[in-house]
Structure 1
Amino acid sequence: MFKYQAPENCLSNKTILVTGAGSGIGKSAAIHYAKYGATVILLGKTVEKLEQVYDEIIAAGFAEPAIVPLDMKGATAQNYKDMVNTIISQFGQINGALLNASILGELTPFTQIAQQTWDDVMQVNVNAQMQLAQALIPAMVQSDAASLVFTTSGVGNKGRAFWGPYSVSKFATEGMMQLIADEYEGSSLRCNAINPGGTKTKMRASAFPAEDKTVLPEADEIMPLYLYLMSDDSVGENGKRINAQQ
């Protein structure tokens, strides 16, 4: 799966939602999904960035994507339900979702974590993921083979000093993934989590400002796993935390 050679059009006739699609890993995943035949729903908080991704997909001759501008810090459960209903009415189905959007917060000693920072990180990285997954799952189980993919981290199953709310939020993400995977074992829905590892992104740069960025892979380089988990070749993979870099 780490050197997965995606067959041409392996995502044909699939509708896939990508959160945090305006930049970084989300942008790369959205473009790759479109390249392999999917109709992609681009969700993010910055319209200009989403429009740039939209333009890149159109310029490449791929299927026209849709844009959903939504700030997950302020969105409600009803917002997500309305969004899913709109997707179903326009496209008829949701076959895949990459829940990629998250925020870092601040790296600080545990006793100095600001309550607002904690609340913001938990809202975007945990509460919004739960509400969005709750809205998506009833639609996704109608598909013959649906894939729900969460995004975790190296600090998501082993705590690291100073990573506070972000680390805790990713522990919660992995727990949520495992719970959903277990509840839907044997159904048409599979659920897994990807740990992208150190990748050249804006979030990584803010966490490690002094790091030599030339040694980090670009987001495009870790896409084999992202494509594998969305393709029907991964049917049977369920409840797993998988590192994109091996």
Structure 2
Amino acid sequence: MTDTHANGRLAGRLAVITGASRGIGAAVAERFAQEGAHLVLIARTQGGLEEMDDRVQAAGAPPATLVPLDLTDFDALDRLGASLYERHGKLDILVGNAGTLGQLGPLSHVPPDVWQACMDVNVTANYRLIRSLEPLLRQSDAGRAIFVTSGAARSAFPFFGPYAASKAALERVVQIWAQEMRKTPIRANLLDPGVVRTRMRAFAFPEEDPEQHPEPMAVAETFVKLADPACQRHGEIVHAL
């Protein structure tokens, strides 16, 4: 690791990032690597993770730990906590970035399995991560947790029912957990990235010109600030743009 990385704001910190193979998760992984963090990258595809690891190492960081995992495999999330404890004994940063849009359309037309899948990925998986990884974050001198939310959680935006409802639920889950962690070294926040050029945005709004929106790297610095041991923000919804 270069001197720049050794002196980075996240030097020596262990960070778990979900949805790390593309979009915002990939940009955050690259910035964390530049700031000296050791990364545990989670995504569904091994190939996507390997491509991301190449980017991490190109940034001058050591190889990441790659975890190909479907977040709806809740037993695997439990094993993740045990595995990280065995290897590292602690966790410094958790970034709950992975999410799914679900089906767009009238709420009454959404199939129950689509609704459940959206809740599983956007809410339950993050609850299971909290449950699995809180003991490791407590072992850090400055545990930091960041969960990606959306403005849809705070507006009655038509045709985005499963996504909006799941993000609203995520916000309340994280805010409750933050209150429970007030007297610990853990600081937990939600980050609303705003409108960013991602695959999910392109799917939701195919008529848009994606070039009009900033790239995911534009919001990565806000993640670094919230992951910094010096950050004392807690229980907030932070807007990146």
Same fold (TM over 0.5): yes
Matched with 2:3 is none
Matched with 1:105 is 102
CA shift for structure 1 position 91 = 2.8
Is 1:116–2:109 an aligned residue pair? no
Aligned partner (choices 178, 182, 187) of residue 179 of structure 2? 182
8 Å CA contact 2:89–2:136 kept in 1: the answer is no
CA shift for structure 1 position 134 = 0.6
CA shift for structure 1 position 89 = 2.2
SS of match in other structure, 2:94 = strand
- CA distance, structure 2, for counterparts of residue 207 and residue 149 of structure 1: 24
Aligned partner (choices 170, 184, 189) of residue 173 of structure 1? 170
Matched with 1:13 is 12
Matched with 1:240 is 236
8 Å CA contact 2:71–2:77 kept in 1: the answer is no
- CA distance, structure 1, for counterparts of residue 212 and residue 88 of structure 2: 41
8 Å CA contact 2:31–2:221 kept in 1: the answer is no
Aligned pairs for 1:1-246 within 5 A: 8-73=7-72, 75-76=73-74, 78-234=75-231, 236-245=232-241
The alignment's TM-score, normalised by the length of structure 1, stands at 0.93
SS of match in other structure, 1:233 = coil
Cα deviation 1:192-215 (Å, max 9, x = unaligned):
000111100000000010112111
The alignment's TM-score, normalised by the length of structure 2, stands at 0.95
Query: Tell me, which stretches of 5 or more residues in structure 2 are unaligned?
Result: 1-5
Query: Tell me, which stretches of 5 or more residues in structure 1 are unaligned?
Result: 1-6
- CA distance, structure 2, for counterparts of residue 128 and residue 224 of structure 1: 25
- CA distance, structure 1, for counterparts of residue 183 and residue 90 of structure 2: 20
| Mean Cα deviation higher: 110-119 or 95-104 | 110-119
| Mean Cα deviation higher: 20-29 or 224-233 | 224-233
- CA distance, structure 2, for counterparts of residue 63 and residue 38 of structure 1: 9
- CA distance, structure 2, for counterparts of residue 136 and residue 172 of structure 1: 20
CA shift for structure 1 position 217 = 0.3
- CA distance, structure 1, for counterparts of residue 111 and residue 207 of structure 2: 24
CA shift for structure 1 position 8 = 4.8
CA shift for structure 1 position 138 = 1.0
- CA distance, structure 2, for counterparts of residue 178 and residue 83 of structure 1: 23
The runs of at least 4 consecutive aligned structure 1 residues that moved more than 3 Å come to: none
- CA distance, structure 1, for counterparts of residue 223 and residue 139 of structure 2: 22
